[in-house]
Structure 1
Amino acid sequence: MNDDALMAKLMAAFDDDAAPDQAGDEPRPSEQPFDTQRFLAGLDAIFDAHAAAKAGPYLEQAMIDAENAGDDAGLLTVLNETMGFYRSQGRHKENQWIVQRALELATRMGITGTEAWTTTLINAATAMRAAGQYDQSEDLYKQAQASSERTLAPSDRRLAALHNNLSMLYSETGKTHQAEVELGEALRILESSSPDAETDLDVASTHTNLALTLLAEDKLSAASWHAAKALEIYRNGHLEHSAHYASALAGYAQVRFHQHDYGQAVNLYCQALQVIEECYGKDTDYYRITESNLRQAEHEASEHAPANVSQNVSQDASAGGNGSGTPGTAPAGTPSAAVPSATASPTGTSPICGLKLARECWNAYGKPLIADKYPEYQGRIAAGLVGHGSECYGFDDDLSRDHDFGPRFCLWLTDEDYAAIGERLQADYEALPQSFMGYGPRESTARAQGAGRRDGVFRIGDFFESITGYRQAPSTNNPHEWLMLDEATLAAATNGEVFADPLGKFLDTRQGFKTMPEDVRLALISKRLGMMAQAGQYNVPRMLARGDGAAAWLSIGEFVQAAASLVFLLNNPITVGYLPYYKWRFAALRRLSSRMAARLADVCGQLETLLRLSSAACYGGAGFGEGGKGSAPVAEKISQTIEHVCAEVVAELRREGLTGSDETFLEWQRPYVEEHIASDAACLHSL
């Protein structure tokens, strides 16, 4: 379709038959209705014409039109379509803003618990996964699962798509057992809902995904069965010309490669290349990756006896799949699945960060230890690095290595498993090499030994109890217990990385602490508003006027602490985590503020300015180079900055629908926020 034809089709899609109110009058934008069906028809016209370059401007204009028309439902449709398009174009930074906007709009519309809310959550989660924001993606997928249980029928194929997407997230983050579980559930839904599962492309694709995931777990027999089953379905349904066919061929080739059947792998990769060329052409990453894998298979075939090289493709070799990507646990020297994938930024090896050192140590020593001595527990032990220590936050540097730094990781067991093997496993852990990759042995300070040790073997409940005092997160019905847990404690319980969790029990417990009840979050927001008003807006100018520099300094500190906490609370801990203890407070705040679509992103810089100017404001700048003209100008700057931060907070509260007031003295905003607290528990409400 040429540009003129495309434009004609778009104009037809948006032709407005409504006459103006009076001859010669043009309706104002706010009076022009937004037609969602015409928008979708126009978007289809663009994609039918393979004119993707036009889709971006078209979507951006549609957002403006829907907003001008006051059509929230239409705008949400546009935002959902935009999420998918931006993801396909690799525009991940821009997409994070679209995700944030869509979720905020859907919440404001009050559609939580509806099918539209479920769809929006799935789209947002998938966009965040593509952007590499895995924690946020998992949180959104979990919310989508909870919502789907109320809004979708058990046999709805969209549920299968949700499980498939979640499995991709787990594969990309090395949680292969959880990926397998999700794919198994997706396959169950698809097979039960399909008119003919033996010719269903989606069923075939899921079998291929399962094969790749099982391959990452070294379950070669099961992987081979699922790959062959996918081939059978493609053959039954005569789907060999589907673009997905190439991915399945490549997936089956990878299984054969692992089984050292290099000749078969060569033949399968050759077939995959033919399909890719037919569907996508040669000038694509898809073709180049597959071709590279073919060369590697050819090399291995040439290194082995000629008898291993088969010149004929077996009846099995006519596979399919959807190209979900290669699990990251494939052994060195194994070709990756022939699908395009995002390339991670290279991580420097010197110096190495503590989390990476822990993961490498787990892979080198921990996994082989369990495989050799505790094979029956391989599918039950969680591993990672979480808790106290700079490296658990990802903030460690050269200065951090003078204490409690070195090769280490944690192993988390259920109570039952700990009773059976806990003490033996701890002894085996302590017998592992103390030096690794040039680091170690680790010299633990007194606070990181004994009951306060930060690595080794733990009962899951004991581990969280040692940090929080609770074996699992308090109940939503006990808000007073949540309020007793300060944010730094919750940050220590939910930071770090989990390298493996086959049972999912550690992650479930950790997620419980991350999911702060909404009433508690709102109560804490109210408390922070009160402190910012009292310490910053009220007491800072009064203490400066009295000439009590020490009291003014402390008041500024209280304001800064409350404001930093508020930034995390308004961004929501389930998405961004909690504000850590004072040492890393600003490191965490800077990291959060640098994220795309972060709320109150510029508050961090303003708080640092307050701290920098406090010496001059409180003590006249003596010795600090700030107070050449006395403290008055700097004191005025302090007050202006505080008021500017408070005004931004009020604007954010309004955007979130927590207030309808423009009052910038934050104490008066507290009743508006507390109106949204559902519980009547006294501890959640101010006096």
Structure 2
Amino acid sequence: MFDLQRFLEGLDLLYASGKGREAEGYLKRGLKEAASCGDDGAILAILNELMGYYRAAGRYEECLLCTRQAMELADELGLDGTMQYGTMLLNAATGYRAAGKYQEAETLYAQAYEIYRRHIMGPDYHMASLHNNLSLLYSETGRLKEAKRELERAMEIVRKLDDADVEVAITYTNLGNLCFQMNETAEGKAHMEQAVRIFEKMPDGKDSHYASALSGLGEAYFHEGNLEASQACYQKALDEIFRFYGENEYYQVTKRNLEIVSDLLRRRQAAEKSQMKGLELAKAYYEEYGKTMIEEQFPEYAGRIAAGLVGEGSECLGYDDAWSTDHDFGPGFCLWLTKKDYRKIGQKLQEAYDALPKEFMGYAVRNTTEQGKRRVGVFEIGTFFRNLTGYKKAPKEDKDWLSISQESLRTAVSGEIFDDPLGKFTKRRAAFSAEPESARLKRLYVSLGKMAQAGQYNFPRAKKRNALGAMYFSLSEFLSAAVETAYLLNKTYMPFYKWKMKGMEEFQRIPEIRVLLEELMEKETTDKDIEEKIEQICRIVAGELKEQGISDREDDFLEAHKASVLEKLMEIEKDKGHDGQKPVD
């Protein structure tokens, strides 16, 4: 006779002693022995254990094969409707869910629930497990609120059970993962911390779900920016997964997460240690390796290649910090060639650039994302500027200038040129820096109109109507237009949106407007003094328009100053010999 109890105790011992990778062989041997004894009940129990093993190991085809065999055997044994049958259905449903067969899984969960409902009167492990697993199904099919409700039901049950620490910890882990999906990061982290604390108090070894809790906590720390704690959690999780299942799919995913966090941590530590900005790093890397490479491998072109770092990225604006190292950051620079030179040596120069050392001053090779491709390397001058602005050369007509966003123009003129013996790149970039006064005024005409319409006219009207949506959108439009106006009055191109406020710290004209805008951003749309704050900002703008001789109006209503801008534009167009045309609002 097959001793199932002794066999399952041996299985538990394997897991508890960190020999989980030996479980498959142990289970298969038991299956054969039970079959030779003709013990169908033992066979069914072992098939259920194998289902769980293959599911956790990511071997879904084998999991479903065991599932089908178990269901056929249970039917043959006439177990339909029993608690044992319900548990087998629960395990089978979980296997189908893990394999992505959600409809089949949901059907089986429903059948298991009906059986449990008939047999279970009070708090019970089986019902808690069903709610836990049903929650996972709902979360994987996008029904997150339903998923959270099922987990809360499971937690309500397991808290009432004796010696249920493992089940409570598993439920906390599942709640944490679900909260992350729902962008409830703080709550998710709290659940993961609870789960880890429970698992780590267990005297007889950790449950296999401990790894999931550690990974979840690692994710939470990552989103907080605590890379050291995140790295530690992912490393512990990796060790636990290897101990139980070896290098399975979950192991590989966790390993990749650990590598990402470790790489970011090394980069951040290098940045904090060196206190070096991205432009400084690029220049030092060029001086150390770039110059030598050009002089030794392309001596006849040494006096024709421009070098520097210009274009996209916070380092080109000088706004980078240790947090900027998480993507598209590291040793690298640009080399610019004329069209003729690029045809001759562009490919070879790029190959030589690619062969430069990948680490420098503690920084690893650039961690380039899909969006950050081709920020460094070898470029033809005209193509470089066309990619940034849509034009190979600075345009001549206002309509062409106005087709380029301020953000694109700021990108084209940001950064630093390290060497330019021919001067061609420097000249091309200087032309993009010199937007005509008429184009600036046309942009200003539009932005002033938006400030007046959104902030001084529409916001107060929306507030009288208590139209919350209109109030929010009016305020948003006003803020955006006010920032653009401030840059135009400083004759400085506006950077990418996330750096707009940072860039305002460099203003020479009306620098006080930045603080006022930030104060306005902090207010609720229903605040009583919000209209006064809008008017205060408009007064500063009106004063600067008069200071620059663009307007002579005394009115604080910016629509009146917009008319003065139009008059100024007409004078400029007349001096050019053109018929004045009103800018498009």
With normalisation by structure 1, the TM-score equals 0.44
Asked if the contact 2:446/2:583 (under 8 Å) is kept, the reply is no
Deviations 1:556-601 (A, max 9, x none): 121111111111211213xxxx1111111111112x23xxxx1111
> Which whole-Å CA distance do the structure 1 matches of 2:496 and 2:288 have between them?
32
Query: Which residue does the alignment assign to 1:430?
Result: 354
Query: Are residues 1:400 and 2:340 paired?
Result: no
Query: Are residues 1:364 and 2:274 paired?
Result: no
In structure 2, runs of 5+ residues without a counterpart are 1-270
Query: Which residue does the alignment assign to 1:84?
Result: none
1:369–1:683: structure 2 CA closer, same or farther, 3 Å change rule? farther
1:457 maps to amino acid: V
Query: Which residue does the alignment assign to 1:572?
Result: 491
Shift of 1:544: 2.2
Deviations 1:193-220 (A, max 9, x none): xxxxxxxxxxxxxxxxxxxxxxxxxxxx
Deviations 1:464-505 (A, max 9, x none): 011111101111xx2111111110111111111111111111
Shift of 1:651: 1.2
1:675 aligns with one of 557, 567, 573: 567
Query: Are residues 1:550 and 2:465 paired?
Result: no
1:607 maps to amino acid: L
Residues 298-313 of structure 1 mapped to structure 2, 5 A cutoff: none
Asked if the contact 1:382/1:501 (under 8 Å) is kept, the reply is yes
> Which whole-Å CA distance do the structure 1 matches of 2:303 and 2:380 have between them?
16
Asked if the contact 2:272/2:322 (under 8 Å) is kept, the reply is no
With normalisation by structure 2, the TM-score equals 0.51
Residues 189-588 of structure 1 mapped to structure 2, 5 A cutoff: 350-449=274-373, 453-475=374-396, 478-573=397-492, 578-588=493-503
Larger Rg: 2
Deviations 1:359-402 (A, max 9, x none): 10010110111111111212111111111111111111122111
Shift of 1:414: 0.6
Tell me: higher relative CO, structure 1 or 2? Use CA pairs within 8 A at least 6 residues apart.
1
Deviations 1:22-61 (A, max 9, x none): xxxxxxxxxxxxxxxxxxxxxxxxxxxxxxxxxxxxxxxx
> Which whole-Å CA distance do the structure 2 matches of 1:480 and 1:412 have between them?
28
1:589 aligns with one of 504, 513, 532: 504
Shift of 1:654: 1.1
Asked if the contact 2:331/2:360 (under 8 Å) is kept, the reply is yes
Query: Are residues 1:663 and 2:555 paired?
Result: yes
Query: Which residue does the alignment assign to 2:583?
Result: 685
Q: Which secondary structure state, in structure 1, belongs to the residue aligned with residue 308 of structure 2?
A: strand
In structure 1, runs of 5+ residues without a counterpart are 1-346, 618-630
> Which whole-Å CA distance do the structure 2 matches of 1:417 and 1:549 have between them?
59
Query: Which residue does the alignment assign to 2:241?
Result: none
Q: What do you get for the CA RMSD once the two structures are aligned?
A: 1.7
Query: Which residue does the alignment assign to 2:541?
Result: 649
Query: Which residue does the alignment assign to 2:509?
Result: 599
1:682–1:434: structure 2 CA closer, same or farther, 3 Å change rule? farther
Asked if the contact 2:328/2:366 (under 8 Å) is kept, the reply is yes
> Which 4+ stretches in 1 moved above 4 angstroms?
680-684
Asked if the contact 1:556/1:610 (under 8 Å) is kept, the reply is no
1:611 maps to amino acid: M
Deviations 1:317-350 (A, max 9, x none): xxxxxxxxxxxxxxxxxxxxxxxxxxxxxx9962
Asked if the contact 1:385/1:497 (under 8 Å) is kept, the reply is yes
Q: Which secondary structure state, in structure 2, belongs to the residue aligned with residue 447 of structure 1?
A: coil
Shift of 1:548: 2.5
1:585 maps to amino acid: K
Query: Are residues 1:608 and 2:518 paired?
Result: yes
Shift of 1:549: 2.3
> Which whole-Å CA distance do the structure 2 matches of 1:675 and 1:354 have between them?
44
> Which whole-Å CA distance do the structure 2 matches of 1:661 and 1:448 have between them?
47
Q: Which secondary structure state, in structure 1, belongs to the residue aligned with residue 443 of structure 2?
A: helix
> Which whole-Å CA distance do the structure 2 matches of 1:406 and 1:385 have between them?
12
Equivalent residue pairs, number: 309
Q: Which secondary structure state, in structure 2, belongs to the residue aligned with residue 511 of structure 1?
A: helix
Residues 73-92 of structure 1 mapped to structure 2, 5 A cutoff: none
> Which whole-Å CA distance do the structure 2 matches of 1:684 and 1:506 have between them?
35
Shift of 1:682: 6.5
1:681–1:437: structure 2 CA closer, same or farther, 3 Å change rule? farther
Query: Which residue does the alignment assign to 2:203?
Result: none
* Structure holding more helix per residue: 2
Asked if the contact 1:525/1:569 (under 8 Å) is kept, the reply is yes
